[in-house]
Amino acid sequence: MNDKEIWERMMSGEIYDATHPHLIQKLEKTRELLYDFNNCRPSDANRLKEIISFVLGSHKKFFQINQPFHCDYGENIHIGNYFFANFNLTILDEAEVRIGDYCFIGPNVSIYTACHPLDSENRNKALEWAEPVTIGNNVWIGGNTVILPGVTIGNNVVVGAGSVVTKSIPDNVVIAGNPAKIIKQTD
Is residue 94 within 8 Å of 130, Cβ to Cβ? Answer: yes
pLDDT by residue (tens digit) across 37-85?
A: 999 999 999 999 999 999 999 999 999 999 999 999 999 999 999 999 9
Q: In terms of DSSP bridges, do strands 16-17 and 127-130 run parallel, antiparallel, or are they unpaired?
A: antiparallel
Q: Is 116 a catalytic residue?
A: yes
Residue 90 belongs to what domain range? Answer: 3-185
Q: How is 27-61 classified by DSSP, letter by letter? A: HHHHHHHHHHHHTS-TT-HHHHHHHHHHHSSEE-S
Question: Half-sphere exposure of residue 150, counting CA atoms within 13 Å on the CB side?
Answer: 7
Global pTM? 0.97
Q: Which of 22, 70, 78, 116 is catalytic?
A: 116
> What CATH number does residue 151 fall under?
2.160.10.10
Looking at the 3D structure of the chain, how many domains does it have? Answer: 1
